[in-house]
Amino acid sequence: MTRTATLPHLEDSAAAPAAAGLGALTATRLLHHRVLILDRELDQDNGAQLSAQLLLLAAEDPRQDITLLINSPGGLVPAMLAIGDLMDLVPCDVRTVALGMAYSAGQFLLTHGTPGKRMILPHGRVLMHQGSAGFGGSAADIELQAEDLRRSRDLLIALTAERTGQSAETIAQDSDRDRLWDAEGAVEYGFCDRIVTSLDEVLPLGIGARTGTSLGVTGVVASPHSAPSGDAR
């Protein structure tokens, strides 16, 4: 008998297509500035990559913040929990920033950032709901898989309650179906701490504003003695 089963998964919103992903050059430049990004569905591959990058940056400088930008429709629970555990274990603070959407697994990672350093853009949105999984095999197999899903659900409720300050009962009720929050509501609920009002809040050490660079791309800083552009007169 063929047995089919899938890992517990926080579903993508039907209204939220997955992003295409950053190019390697851009991602490398962001990594150089200790900026990580989850810009699509969280799966085993990009989950392992984010985990490795967290460890790399923590080993490189255990005192400097890491920034995680989130624009994701959801993803796999095991990958999400692995990243969350590492965020707790690394010695440096992890700042989290919700860009367009922090849905499901994205919501969990946003909320799992260092307290006081969890942010959302003015038009960012947060979605919370329960996980789901596909079951297959014998009746006994299905029962075991369903029990594992219930344990995962209870764990996520407890962790989210701890990070938001809401009660477990409130989290269970509010995650029973898809529920969306705008930026102001997300801060009020406790998913994050504040709404971003300045680019310097997102870019570590004011990259761009104070260094003449834009995410690793060096800009041309005019000399006070340089001639203006165009033909000399």
Instruction: Say which of 104, 112, 152, 175 is annotated catalytic.
Output: 104
Q: Is 104 in the active site? A: yes
pLDDT at residue 205 in the model: 57
For residue 189, what pLDDT band results from cuts at 50, 70 and 90? very high
At which residue do the structure tokens 């490398």 appear? 28
* Class (C level, CATH) for 17-129+180-202: alpha beta
pLDDT tens track for 9-50 = 444 433 333 334 567 788 888 899 999 999 999 999 999 999
CB atoms inside a 10 Å sphere around CB 98: 31
pLDDT at residue 148 in the model: 73
Domain coordinates in residue numbering, the chain: 17-129+180-202, 131-177
Quote the CA–CA distance of 153 and 147 in Å, as a whole number: 10
CB atoms inside a 10 Å sphere around CB 33: 16
Asked if 16 and 103 touch (Cβ cutoff 8 Å), the reply is yes
Instruction: Say which of 9, 72, 112, 129 is annotated catalytic.
Output: 129
pLDDT at residue 141 in the model: 64
Quote the CA–CA distance of 52 and 182 in Å, as a whole number: 31
Quote the CA–CA distance of 42 and 139 in Å, as a whole number: 30
> What's the chain's average pLDDT?
80
Q: Is 13 in the active site? A: no
For residue 128, what pLDDT band results from cuts at 50, 70 and 90? very high
pLDDT tens track for 50-83 = 999 999 999 999 999 999 999 999 999 999 999 9
